[in-house]
Amino acid sequence: PVEEGMNILGAHIDSPRIDVKQNPLYENEGLAYLDTHYYGGVKKYQWLSIPLALHGVIVKKNGEKVEVCVGEKETDPVLVINDLLLKERYDVEEEDFLSAELEIVPAGKARDCGLDNSMILAYGQDDRVCAFTSLFAILRAEEVARTSCCLLVDKEEIGSTGASGMTSRFFENAVAEYVLLNE
C-alpha cells in the first residue's frame, strides 16, 4: 500500500527552447517575422551560430491537427521561417496560430561525440537521459518492496514553477487522491 511508503524516481523532460507566441506573425519591410519568447537557459549568443528548427502542432479552425517540422531536412530553410513555406506546406492561415504550440530548437540529428565516441551530442540529451533511465529502472524492476513511481516533470528549466512543475502541489495532490480512491 502507498501508505507504507513509495519509491520515487524523478527527472525533468523539458529543455531550453524558443517558444512561438500565440499571435506570432507580423510583417516588416516585406519580411515575415515570428514573435517569440525564451524558455529555460537560452543564451542568445549561443543560438545565433547554430541551425534551428521549428517543431510543434497547430489545430486549425476546422479542428484538423497539423504537425509542423521545419528545419530538420537538408532542403528546409534554416533560421528563417517565411509565411509562404507554412502556407504551402501546411495549409495554415494566420488565424490558425491562435491554437498553435510551436517551439524553435537546435536542429540536427543525434551524433556520437568525443574522440572515443563515448558521449552523445543531441539537443535535450542531457535532460532526457535521466528520464529514460528512470523510467526503464522502474519498468525492469522485477520485485519491489514498496510502490514505485517514475515522476517525469516539466518546467525544470524555468525553476520548476507552474501547474506541472515540482514547486506545485500536483504530485502531492495526485498521490492523496490515489490513496483516497484505494481506501
Q: What is the pLDDT of residue 83?
A: 44
Q: Which of the 8 DSSP states describes residue 146?
A: S
CA nearest to 104, candidates 15, 18, 37: 18
Q: According to the model, what pLDDT value does residue 161 have?
A: 80
Residue 13's CB is within 10 A of a number of other CB atoms, namely: 15
Minimal CA–CA distance to 94: which of 156, 24, 42? Answer: 24
Pairing, β 17-28 against β 6-12: unpaired
Contact in structure between 64 and 72 (CB atoms under 8 Å): no
pLDDT at 177: 92
What number of residues does the chain have? 183
pTM passes above 0.75: no
C-alpha cell of residue 23: 499571435
pLDDT beneath 50, residues of the chain: 80-84
Residue recorded with cell 526503464: 136
What pLDDT does 163 receive? 77
For the chain, give the longest Cα–Cα distance.
Answer: 66
